[in-house]
Each structure stands twice: as C-alpha cells, then as structure tokens.
Structure 1
C-alpha cells in the first residue's frame, strides 16, 4: 500500500477522537495521509494531533493557501487516491449529497474525482431520518461507498445504530478497497480496448446539423475504467465538452462516416470493442456548401441512411469481444436481443433513456446486459463510473 494517498476528512462529532486512531493506523500501514478538519471537528480534537500522527498536512481553512502555485482544495482533490470521511455527520452527508461547498471539507469534496468512503456517525434517530436516508441513497447512486455504523450505547445516551465503526474496521475497509482496485486492474491487464463515445453530427450546411442528446459521459466513464483496469485504451469520440481520461489515446471525429473510418482503422488489433457512441442513423442526402437562407417556403430535407458501424464490425469480427449499446424508450429486451443477433455481438448493454436517471446527460445509468448465450443481467441504478466498472467486469469474463 506504499505511495497510496488517503485524504482523511474529519467532521464535527464526538466520534472524531476515533479518527485520530484511524489516521495513526493508516500512516503506520504505509499510506500517505493528509487531513481536512471542519471547524466543528476542531472543537473535539486539535489539528496538531493529526499532524503529529500522520507527519502530514492538516487543512482547516478554505482561504489558507500555503502554496501560491496551487489552489489547495483542488490540489488535495487531485492528490487523493481515496477519500475517507470519518466521522461523516448528518450535516456533512447532506452537504456532499446536495453539492454545497461552504468550508474546506465540502469545497474539496466538490472537486474530488477519486473514490469516496464515508463512515457515518450520529444519533440513532438522526441516522433513520428520511432526509438523511435520502441523502445517503443519493450518494450511493453517485458511486460513494459507506462503512456501516455500529450499534450500541451512543454518546447521547441512546442505544441503537449510529456509532462510528471501530478504527480497525475502517482500516480494513480501506485495505479491502485497494485490494479490489488491484484485482480490477488485473482484469484487463495488457488488453487493447477500443471505445466509441458521444454523438455524431450530420451537416446540412456550414451552420446547421442533425445530432442527438448524447453527452458522451458513459463512453468516457468506460474509457476511464478500462484504463484503471490496466488496458491500453483508444477512445474515438464525437463532439463533446468532456475531459479525456488520463492515459487514454483519443481520436476526435464529427460525422458517422468519420467515426466508421476511425474505428475500422483500429479494429483489427483490438481485444475488446465497445461501441457506446450514439451515432446518427440518417444524414441529409444533400450537404450545402453555403448557408441556406430563410425564405417563405417550407424546407424539406431528404434523408438517407448512414453507414452501420456496429453491423460492419460484426461482419469483420475475428477474435474481438464486441459490445454494443441499445438506448431505447420501449420494448427494451426485444430490441436489444434483436440487435445482439443481427449485428453478431457478444453483449448488448441496454438502457431505457425515458427513465429518470438513465437518460442522456445524466450522471447515473441503469444497464441491462444481454449475452449471446441468452443470459440477462440487470445492473442497479448507479453512477456512470460505477456502471462502467460493472460492465467491464462482465466483459472481462468473455475474453476466454
């Protein structure tokens, strides 16, 4: 576990004293530990305690910029391999779930892209309050993980669930996370993975085009997860505003034909091809070289079919595992299985884009996987990053 960076976030509850033991155990286990404390947490334990136990920096003030070359809360967010919030009070859980950034901890959490473990600690009635439950469910859908609190006598005198997990349990949860990451990395070690993402645009004239609502988020999440699992990743993307994941080779295209040509150029030496892009099925039969001016008549545009990239890949498939996506609004299973057979796929990941949280542009997705062997597996509604990891785990099993 050497060289792994853990950002320990301590919020204001009596259980903050346990966090000192957690910090000490993590440091002794070889992790690099930095700490963020809320103002309330400092009422229970001092920053000096954590500094002494971790030999690392402790941050308490958003506006205390120690290094003029970086912005502290962004730099911390980028530094972390894992964020551990312990204790996670009802207040902090609510802030994180609803995007509130009004102190060093909550502001940093808005910038974090690393995995997050939260260890709740609060009164039993607070823990069971509908608002707190809703916030935890929301964070769960974002891909955050929870370390279950214990049951017993609480500091307030109540007996019930809400006591911060013991330090050893928290450290075990951290180690289990990194063990899982290590296993995930091995799943696609040295495999070549090609992913298409985003929409395509079919031009009418220099200022107009046909497209769809795809944001590219799912494809980019798959690229990020595949890289994390040890693959050599090529991302062929239509127009998006998303940042390309670190270490991923990217090719940018605009039209369906351009994406087809780029995919075919790379296809022969890939182990896995995942066509996540929402390409245009039709394009204008005529593309005008200059802008068409508005007049009093209606404008009728004749459309013709675009090249079917997935079908072309299915016809040329040799050793590759070929995965397609099916974004549907009705008859999900019927259309997905039809695509699976017609286009010679190994797996189809289907989603109902009419459902809340599963459509274009959302931060979450709910996939149903259909295999060519007749299997069907329903994945839960989770963040697109988590959905990508779950999908790739299933795909890795098809490599043999």
Structure 2
C-alpha cells in the first residue's frame, strides 16, 4: 500500500516522527511519502521524518516540490492508495472543505478520488464552532473522505483537558487501513 501522510501545524505534529517510526515497525511493507505544511515545521523536522520514515518528505509549498515531478499533484494522487492527514488544523480543514488548491497537498487531495482520512486537531473552543461543524460536514459528505471524531486532550493554550484533540495516531492508522481495504474489496 502507498500512503501519503500530510502533517499540518498543530502541536500533535511534534509526535509524527514517533508515529512514523511506529508505522515502519508494524507495517514495514507500506510505501510512505510525507508532506508537511510550513506551519508544521515549527513542531517537526522534515529531516527527522525523512530518516525515520525512510521516504521522501516534501514541504507543502510549490517551490519545494522536487523537479523530477512533471505534475506533482497528479502523480501523487495517482501514486497514493490512501492519504492520512494527521493532525489536521482548522485552517487546513477549512481550506480543504471549500475547495482551495493553493498548496501541493490541497491540490493533490482535491484531485484524488482515493481514500482520505482526516484527524482534526482543533484549538480550545473551536470544537463547538458551528462554522467548523459545517466544514467538517462538507468533508464528511465527500464519498472518499473520512473525518475522524476529535477526543478530549490536553490543550497547550489553556493547560486543561478540552475537546478537539486528534484521535491517537494508531487509531487513525487503523481506520486508514480499514477504509483502504473496503475500497480494494469493491
């Protein structure tokens, strides 16, 4: 299975190197590519992901796409059997739901008809926002997109447990595998 992992700028991105190492340990046969948004690089090093994932890591900016791609978004959408967006910030969710295509990751996802699993990571107070609920509903209505529920987690902003944290990575990874298996079976 070819999996594209997209990491966005939530604090949970800091744990991606651990989880990518975990993927390599439990499913070494999976072929990975990783994209990280510029804001994710505040919390995680692309080099750490490249080394631990033994894979290509691309910063989600057009000027960072390697020259060996002729049409990165098309080639990546065709290559990936499934995509996991973990963690998915409010900004990324909103832009994805309204059809934005201004970054390589967003254009790839907008062009793909393969499974996309999204693990939202919402700031304190945003989990109950009607506007965010509308964007999540819009994404859930897409036939190939699965939006995972958020869980209660520690908020670095408030110092308290609040709703809006992404599900644990292993749970998101398991859901990705199940969604992909259903598409292969049909």
Question: What's the offset of the Cα at 1:69?
Answer: 5.5
Say whether residues 1:53 and 2:55 are aligned partners.
no
Query: 1:118, 1:146 within 8 Å by CA — same for their partners in 2?
Result: yes
Query: 2:121, 2:150 within 8 Å by CA — same for their partners in 1?
Result: yes
Question: What's the offset of the Cα at 1:72?
Answer: 1.7
Corresponding position of 1:24: 21
Say whether residues 1:120 and 2:120 are aligned partners.
yes
- Whole-angstrom distance in 1 between the partners of 2:39 and 2:69: 29
- Whole-angstrom distance in 1 between the partners of 2:65 and 2:16: 25
SS in 2 for 1:135: helix
Say whether residues 1:84 and 2:84 are aligned partners.
yes
Corresponding position of 1:134: 134
Unaligned runs of 5+ in 1: 186-228, 230-400
Question: What's the offset of the Cα at 1:108?
Answer: 2.0
**Aligned pairs for 1:289-300 within 5 A:** none
Say whether residues 1:152 and 2:153 are aligned partners.
yes
Length, aligned pairs only:
181
Query: 2:69, 2:75 within 8 Å by CA — same for their partners in 1?
Result: no
Query: 2:152, 2:163 within 8 Å by CA — same for their partners in 1?
Result: yes
Query: 1:59, 1:104 within 8 Å by CA — same for their partners in 2?
Result: no
Query: 1:8, 1:23 within 8 Å by CA — same for their partners in 2?
Result: no
Relative contact order (C-alpha < 8 Å, sep 6+): which is higher?
A: 2
CA RMSD of aligned residues (A): 1.7
- Whole-angstrom distance in 2 between the partners of 1:69 and 1:58: 14
When the two structures are superposed, what TM-score results if normalisation uses the length of structure 1? 0.43
Question: What's the offset of the Cα at 1:11?
Answer: 0.5
Unaligned runs of 5+ in 2: none
Q: Which of 171, 174, 182 is the aligned partner of 2:173? A: 171
Query: 1:87, 1:164 within 8 Å by CA — same for their partners in 2?
Result: yes
When the two structures are superposed, what TM-score results if normalisation uses the length of structure 2? 0.88
Corresponding position of 2:39: 40
SS in 2 for 1:176: helix
Question: What's the offset of the Cα at 1:113?
Answer: 1.9
